[in-house]
Amino acid sequence: MARPRDESKIEAIYEATLKLVLETGFNGLKMADVAKAAKLATGTLYIYFKNKEVLINELYFHLKKNKTLKILEVFNVNDPFPVTFKKLWMNYLNISLAEPERMKFIEQYTHTSYLTKKTKQQGDQLLKPLEDFLASGMKQGLVKKLPVQLLLSQLMGPINESVKLHYDQTLKITPTLKEELFHMAWNSIKA
């Protein structure tokens, strides 16, 4: 009978991997270092993750899923489209500001060969509610009729870059600047 997964160990592994991979990159990442940083025996790590490729794929999906669920917490089908759009956009910005390491990892690994086709598809599927939301904006004549993936890229990319500037101390994202950034985002996609 298979042993149940210990979620606290998995979370420790994810946190250790995130920290190490951002320091060393994928090629510099060693499973023994992950185990040590997670305060586990290397053999225990291999019980949960067959190799570092599997670990990176599962970490990516875990982070993307958690971030997407947090973003969608503010979604209310009864709100008008512009109100919901602002809530979602601001939530994405605030989450990215609060979790820059997670944002950086997701962004860094989204388009790499380290992710399997299956992981990429699962990650893309998480964005379906946001894609559907933007498609509803198109149907209402509120959003430009462009490919939804392009619109998401247009919205998420500037947030990611702005958060990097904030943490590089090139720019301080103040509440006033958040509003300006939001208006730039809205103006970039509104019909």
- Domain residue spans in the chain? 1-49, 61-189
Number of H helices, E strands in the chain: 10, 0
Q: What is the pLDDT of residues 32-78, one digit of tens each?
A: 999 999 999 999 999 999 999 999 999 999 999 999 999 999 998 89
- In 3D space, the residue among 119, 122, 102 whose CA is nearest the CA of residue 55 turns out to be 119
Q: Specify the higher pLDDT residue, 4 or 139.
A: 139
Q: Where are the alpha helices (DSSP H) in 51-142?
A: 52-72, 81-98, 100-110, 117-126, 128-139
Q: Give the alpha-carbon dihedral of 30, 36, 38, 43, to 10 degrees.
A: 80
**pLDDT value, residue 170:** 85
Q: What is the pLDDT of residues 120-178, one digit of tens each?
A: 999 999 999 999 999 999 999 999 999 999 999 999 999 999 999 999 888 899 999 99
CATH 1.10.357.10 is right for the domain spanning 61-189: yes
**Structure pTM?**
0.90
Residue 1: pLDDT band (50, 70, 90) is: very low
CATH 3.90.550.10 is right for the domain spanning 1-49: no
Region 1-27 average pLDDT: 86
SS3 102: helix
